[in-house]
Structure 1
Amino acid sequence: MLIIIHSETNKSNIQQNLGRPEYSYYFVLKEFRPVLERLGQVLEVSHPDELVDRLYADCQSRGEACIFLSFSPPHRTADHYACPTIPVFAWEFSTIPTESWQGEPRHDWRRVLGRSGAAITHSRFTVQAVRDVMGADYPIRAIAAPVWDRFAKRGAQLDKQPRASRVTLNLRGLLFDSRTLDLDAYGPNPLREGSPLLFDAPAGDCQLVLDGVIYTSVLNPYDGRKNWQDMISAFCSTFRDCDDATLVLKLTHHDIGNALNDMLHHLYKNQSYRCRIVLIHGFLADPDYERLVEATSYVVNSSFGEGQCLPLMEFMSCGKPAVAPCNTAMADYIDADNAFIVDSTDELSAWPHDPRAAYRTLRYITNWDSLCSAYRASYDVAREDPQRYARMSDHAIESLRRFCSQDSAEQALGEFFRQVLEQRAAPATPGLAG
């Protein structure tokens, strides 16, 4: 079988696309590729309009099965190919788009999903949202990006210690540490003339030393779903008098200046506190990324919903318990045995690519008091109950193995491809005469 794969972001443009809409689909494609290679020949294409149907015709001529996986949301997936086309997409809202705007019919996902006849997503939550519209028997499968194997290997080499001893990381980029910053320079208006970050500061070689109870989150600060504002304010409030609690935010975006201004202003507003906030923007080589994982006590998420959340999955696969909500895709792998659960409530919202900002769906708002309580409870476990921490670590590894291992992905993909191709080959059922 030939498996054609495509993402609009690829290795040639990832640097300039980092943090832009849909950039993370490239990382999802990369995680799926080794598993797809177990199932057939894999060919990644940059210009599908030029190649997909030509490759499909070649396969048909020699009796070989062929399928096209578009790692893109449905409104950015072509719906005119002869080749069986399956969108592979993430989604974290209660409803899928069922309306069109700006003259583009594909904004109504029913069109693309109907023409493709099948889809892959990453959570049971999204499967339900699709079937609510497309019907209970619509062929859609929840298959998470298979990150577990790679990160579990790293986790197997780590001691399950809830508190970090002294760990040193080397960084090429920007490093901001609340212990050494003059935060008054970032308030009350961080964008005023003369502000230290009106332009991007030059990147350089930095060194970061971490110890104590370390909370880590990896996020795009321009992504409004990530809700880093509550993450920071709840941390500063909870650990106002704790000098051994550190929140590390590893930031991903190609142009970070404005976001850093905003984040540093939030550090200013939440003064005074003895806890430590560290912002990192830049490249961490694999050994240093592994040391960051090793130093981390808990991985943190305070978002309004997730399509799957690769960083959360990666850290938990390494055995790091979470502080996170249990909703949307996270409900598939977060539970009280591997995480300190943050409560949330739903509220009206808009589909993120809808320029009308029309209320058509729900998102899930973090309860700030619950986030503070989860921070406090996790800190107490890290300091006073290493046995419980070790149990949570073991359960995180096992939960993520079931959710996102290569073996589970291979089995699910193989079954789904057979189902799709058999349906495609089956003769159409004649309609009833009117």
Structure 2
Amino acid sequence: MKWRKGAVVATAALAAAGLLAGCGSSGSDSDSAAGGKVDLSYWLWDANQQPGYQRCAEAFTAANPNISVTVKQYGWDDYWSSITTGLVSGTAPDVFTNHASYFPTFVEKHQIQPIDDEVKSENVDLAAYQKGLPELWVGTDGKRYGLPKDNGVVGLYVNDGLLKDAGKSAADLADLTWNPSDGGTFEKLIAHLTVDKAGKRGGEAGFNKGEVAVYGLGLNGAGDGAGESIWAQYALSNGWDYYSGEAAKPHFNYDDPKFQDTLTWFKGLSDKGFMPSLKIATSGVGMQQTYGAGKYAMTTDGVWSAKSYFELKDVKTTVAPLPTGPTGRQSTANSLGDAVTATTKHPAEAKKLLVFLGSKECQTIIGQAGVVLPAMTSATEDAKATFQKSGIDIAPFLAPTTHTTPVVPQWADAMAIFQPAMQAFLNGQAGADSFTKVNEQINALYQ
């Protein structure tokens, strides 16, 4: 499911849309305000979240009878192309779900509107959200363009049946440790859960890494420079951080030995046959589907995927905390947010809707829907209770210390440098030290 991926598939199209503030019109009918009635359009890409936000839209209209809201859902790729085309053609929505990877570009191109005045007039308490999430939606100009909607943290999904077959239990997952030298007890478990086609486990003599039936750990592609749910949790727990300095002019740290040592260990899992190579991982169906087919014993993935994992027909799943590294148990944190288009004909009403979608009332509705973990702390218990009804304990997702993923200018340009390098590294075409040069090239963007 692509609703959280940090890939920059739409960035070129976004850039091509150009400076569009004040151009065209929104999807709302300019005559809809006649008689004081306004119809706003709201777009999102996650089908699983649509019912919850439909209920939020209905609650908003109940409180504001003169404003109706039409909610429309698109698939991930169609969503961004429709947003981009809409900004050019005048068919963009009034409000849409935004992604942190695209946010700086929208701000730079003046395609979305700041909401500071509405936040102030509505007395929005930014301290009510999980720490660090509200800051994601402040531009380098110091203006606020959105409010956090969810809390995207990462955990360990484990196939109960394969765990039991290996003579292990949920108790063996609680206190896993990791380090870049030998992988700690985490790598030992990954090895033990790996089984070749002859039935040999990864830690046993005679294990054939070229004929693996079950990999101990799945791989969800190369990822981007955030490494969200792929390698970031290990690098962060090794004392590394993405960059130093201000977001407006970051100095990235991909040349740090702590980062490069982590990557060397990570690729080593594939070299040993405990995790699929990048070629194998990306040659068939996605990671979650491969896990559901019983070919991955464990995966690292976000809380946003929990419902999908637990709905898999042939697998019973346990959620476990991420392993504890040299500097503790760490996870990325991310959050989606909504945005008001610069082309809306109803900016006051659109901003009012945006603030409501980030309010306690809507956050509670989303928490009770049990699809994602809300960004507002008061709604976390609602989410816990709903997930628990489906047999999902989300407490392990809340165990790590969190680090927000980068939201910086020119992220697309930086990733045009980083992503091919990561693919080359995982494919064995370059060593981890190649990221020293990559880091120089990326930091040159911010000189």
TM-score (norm 1): 0.34
Higher relative contact order (CA 8 A, sep 6+): 2
Structure ranking higher in strand proportion: 1
TM-score (norm 2): 0.34
